[in-house]
Amino acid sequence: MPIFTGAAVAIVTPMYADGKINYDKLEEILEYQIANGTDAIVICGTTGESSTLTHGEHLKAIHFTVEKVAKRVPVIAGTGSNCTETAIMLSTEAASYGADALLLVTPYYNKATQKGLIAHFTAVAESVPNTPVILYNVPSRTGCNLEPETVAYMAKNVENIKGLKAASGNLSQIARTMYLADGNLELYSGNDDQVLPILSLGGLGVISVLSNVAPKETHDMVDRFLKGDTKGAAELQLRAIPLINALFSEVNPIPVKAAMNMMGFEVGPLRMPLTEMEPAHQEVLKKAMVDFGIKVK
């Protein structure tokens, strides 16, 4: 069985005005997501501001989410790091809490070679042999690209490396990756504007920012495609494009937190160095949300 099929939300980390994590609000958002058809929860990913959480906060958020979701949908914990030892520590702890899978971003800043990436991911995966691993390739953020040959090698040779969150934006590279993996890889879109193209290459779903504000529609987009309604799926994908563009008009998760605050979720501020969304971009975002049918304050 795959880790999940459908739409997984890359969930925000709600915070109080003083920057501390608001766990009551996190529970509310988790319940909202599950009630609206989200197929899996990704906690402490990029959208969750994992890079500015302390290790203690990071692990507490994962533990809290696993407990509150209680196996109703899979919980995928972001436990990647540019330090292999740190990634192993976060991964082994998350696995011990009962996380259903781990999401491991490519090491950022170090700019490892492909050989180094294989060594890094293999070491982390082997530290949690009973927990599936999804590799996360987002070179625009990390300065490091997972080449198709590298992904295919690990998918075939490391037993619990099961999936790839593909956020390179390069559909030709993704197609080559799936060709080389030869059926040994679960593929998930990491870009909300490329869900259908990636599904058409054998993808099983999306790990989505859009799902924070439109969980039902994102779920339905994937569900329609997988059930053969490509026309209906394409209609949803195209209708969502202005909203997706607005959600990425500034670096993620600045706009999605602004959007959730507009919806009345009160997810609070961002941690520096991220700052609040520019007023002009907020107006564009608000219009895109209203046009999509989302109620805003």
Specify which residues 10 forms β-bridges with: 42
HEC per residue, 55-77: HHHHHHHHHHHHHHHCCCCCEEE
Contact 164, 151 (CB under 8 A): yes
Task: Give the H or E element holding residue 10.
Answer: strand 6-10
Which residues neighbour 227 within 8 Å (Cβ) at sequence distance 6 or greater?
none
Q: Provide the CA 125 distance to its chain's centre, in angstroms.
A: 19
The pair of structure tokens assigned to 181 is 């993996």
Q: Which class for 256: exposed (0-12), middle (13-18), buried (19 or more C-beta within 10 A)?
A: buried
The answer to whether 97 is a known catalytic residue is no
Q: Which of 25, 162, 165, 257 is catalytic?
A: 165
Residue of 136, 162, 188, 257 with catalytic role:
136
Contacts from 244-251 at CB under 8 Å and sequence distance 24+?
A: 244/192, 244/193, 244/210, 245/193, 245/288, 246/281, 246/284, 246/285, 246/287, 246/288, 246/289, 247/192, 247/209, 247/210, 247/213, 247/285, 248/209, 249/281, 249/284, 249/285, 250/277, 250/278, 250/281
The answer to whether residue 153 is catalytic is no
CA pair distance 143, 147, nearest whole angstrom? 13
CB-based contact 165:137 (threshold 8 Å): yes
Active site residues: 136, 165
